[in-house]
Structure 1
Amino acid sequence: MNEILTAPAAAVDIDAYLDRGAFYAERHVPEPMGQAHWHDHVELNLLLAGGMTYLFNGTRISIGENRVHLFWAAVPHQVIAVEATADLICVYLPFADFLALPVADAFKSSVMDGRFATVAAPDPIDPLLFQRWAAEWPDGSELRQQILREEVGLRVKRLSLDAVAPGTSAGDALAHGTEELEEPRLRSAAPRAIARVQAMTDHINAHFGEAVAVEAVAAAGGLHPTNAMAVFKRVLGVTIAQYIRRQRLSRAMMMLVDTDQSIAEIAFGCGYGSLSQFYVEFQRHCHSTPRQYRLRFRR
């Protein structure tokens, strides 16, 4: 059932399509990364063989064979250890595609909050599905590629029902709250609502270092502020204010890893009103100081 259909592909330069925010599925032999990187996708990983370890959000996370793992790749992540036998398939789902999926708010929020999701036990069908996606995507017809994207979306929807954090049991839900106590409601967002939310997130991403007014965000989506807040929450599962805080924090994390700017420069450059506010927010989400976080990625 878990037979490997093709030999592992050579390592590829993924920057070209990651920078475009495009969908992609590929198979390669992973290697330790010299530095952390990030891109605006929701990434699905499946190891057909071997094991590997990420430094993700400042925490070491090890993944093993034949189990789907999912995370928001806008959070800095770095492969720091790989077994010689490792054979990896990666699926890069554009963030906009993730927004369009009718998954429970608690799951969507947990992913955007920088949590790593997996399943409690391997599903025998996953290795075959992932191998087919990696084999068919690069040269598939437009119709076949559309079907493939729909299959990936369905797999994420199923994962949203079963997701746990790495190292936990089946009884430990990924996201805590009332939704884990009952069957989550899966709601589809209309294409027009998704387009409006994309316009609003684009505005936030371009101005996160400034004082971002809800009125300006709403105007970017062509909506009254009250309607904008409702549409944003319905599509993303988080409020506009929560999204702004998450983007500021994500950018600060990236800059701590990728630049030599002082912590104060990063805090004010990411829109924090004071250094103390930045420290409180950072420690609440990352459970470390900004300096400790920076050192983890530079050892």
Structure 2
Amino acid sequence: MKRRDTRAALLFLSPWIVGFAVFTAWPILYSGYLSLTDYDVINDPAFIGFENYARLFSDPKVALALGNTLFFTAVQVPAYVIVSLALAVLLQQAGRASGFFRTVFFLPKMTPPVAVGILFLLLFNGQSGLFNAALGVVGIDGPSWTTDGSWVKPGLVIMSLWTVGSSVLILLAALRGVPEELYDSAKIDGAGSWRRLTSVTLPMISPALFFVVVVNTIAGLQTFDEAYTAFFGAGNTTYANDAALFYVIYLFQQAFEFLHMGYASAMAWLLFLIVMIVTAIQMVVSRRLVHYEGASR
């Protein structure tokens, strides 16, 4: 009976197993091989050892792109989490209207990233953009978001908040799972709103917060679509290109514009290593900050 159940399970899993092996595992392993070669897609790969990896440390654009990416991620992830949590708290108070607002908040997540990149150029135009027009109403002279290198990444961070919907829903579900008796006990002990938030709400939803932080950190380190569409699309030669040169954009250029496929593969493996290190650090830190109900300390 167990063998028959195992065979049935493997049969149902086989489409995913084959898809994973063909479209994920094999490309990953093959890219590891290509990272050790000089390959321009046209000619056969020529083995060169670790020269591509050595080149990574001498290429100034790798350092520039990596710095831009780390800065963007370090600013975007906290902003993303704070906005998501604030909207989730508001939704929790919305009562019957929460279903409508859940849909409203999630719909922007369905917007194609290319459309978001074009929308960024329209909304954040320094002369005629809607964002600067709104700032002008309150007496603030908005910067040149798309041409001033010092404002490009903050503008992209603000634009990324357009898609907080999925994180809002995750945090809303976590908030609704917090037992009401904990809040009642805190009120009896004289805890105010801020104390209830920091001592009850945040510890109880910390697993969901940790998940949102990890997922968005990985996504931030792989930022590509919106920035590429806005600043590196066909014929785009804006002055802010260097400020918007994220790591995956430079990797894409090396692979598909310059046909340095071996070098791009080495860049991909470096990014994989960085993601693994950052995630491992987050896992270690989570042992102190994340509370799992029923888990022993």
Considering Cα pairs closer than 8 Å and 6+ residues apart, tell me whether 1 or 2 has the greater RCO.
2
Name the structure with the higher strand share: 1
Q: Same fold (TM over 0.5)?
A: no
- Identify, as 1 or 2, the structure richer in helix: 2
Q: What is the TM-score when the length of structure 2 is the normalising length?
A: 0.24
